Amino acid sequence: MYVEWRRVESAGLKHVQESVLPLFLRTRWFRFYQSQVVPGLLQTEHYTRAMLSTVVALREISADIDDAVTARMSRQHILHAGGRRFAFLIEEWVLRSVIGSPETMANQLVHLIGLTATPSVSLGVIPMGVVRGNAWPVESFAIYDVKQVSAELVSAGLTVTQPREIAEYAKSFAELSGIAVYGTAARQLIASAIEALR
């Protein structure tokens, strides 16, 4: 299913944030690959505000930013609700792209380091300069259990439910996971990005 953002966002950004909650509540295994920004479940309030402000400006939509930020932040409780696993993969470039202000970005990166201690969360960072092999950077996407994939395009959102296509995204995620670093090595990359902001 292909839906243009302008159609989805016509009811406001708060509605967009709230509309995915049922999917999040029924999912037990989350896999997120993000090539552009920090994934929503890992964002700080100020980072989210900067992101959504950009969306409002670029798409010229109604600015219910405060309500949308509150909705996204409240959704993050799912990280600690138990009974779920979360695997996040981000390109190192995401750590180096300043969203909002340098202070907003530094606080976001410190927050990411803290989240690496969350038992249900795996955070992998794909270093710049790594040999890619079969792990090509692609559009940002999320896999919910083995039932659905959501991909973000410039002008629209894409929902994939065909098992064969979901398997292709899962294979891509596995390839990307194989070139990512985790734990101490991931925290070092995040710390290096923080230092670069100074």
Q: Write the pLDDT tens digit of every residue in 109-121.
A: 999 999 999 999 9
d(CA 168, CA 164): 7
Helix 183-197 and helix 102-115, axial crossing angle in degrees, nearest 10: 170
Q: Which residue has the higher pLDDT, 186 or 55?
A: 186
Closest CA to 192 of 77, 79, 103, 113: 113
The CATH architecture annotation of domain 2-197 reads: 2-Layer Sandwich (3.30)
Where along the chain do its domains lie?
A: 2-197
pTM of the predicted structure, to 2 decimals:
0.93
The DSSP symbol for 116 reads: T
For 8, other C-beta atoms within 10 Å of its C-beta total 15
- Do residues 120 and 85 touch, judged by C-beta distance below 8 A? yes
In three-state secondary structure terms, 90 is strand
**pLDDT over 90 at 195, yes or no:** yes
Confidence of residue 10 (pLDDT cuts 50, 70, 90): low
Number of H helices, E strands in the chain: 9, 7
d(CA 53, CA 73): 15
Collect all residues with Cβ–Cβ distance below 8 Å to 108 and sequence separation of at least 6.
38, 43, 44, 46, 47, 99
At 189, the amino acid letter reads L
**pLDDT over 90 at 88, yes or no:** yes
β-strand partners of 141: 33, 151
* Mean pLDDT for the chain overall: 91
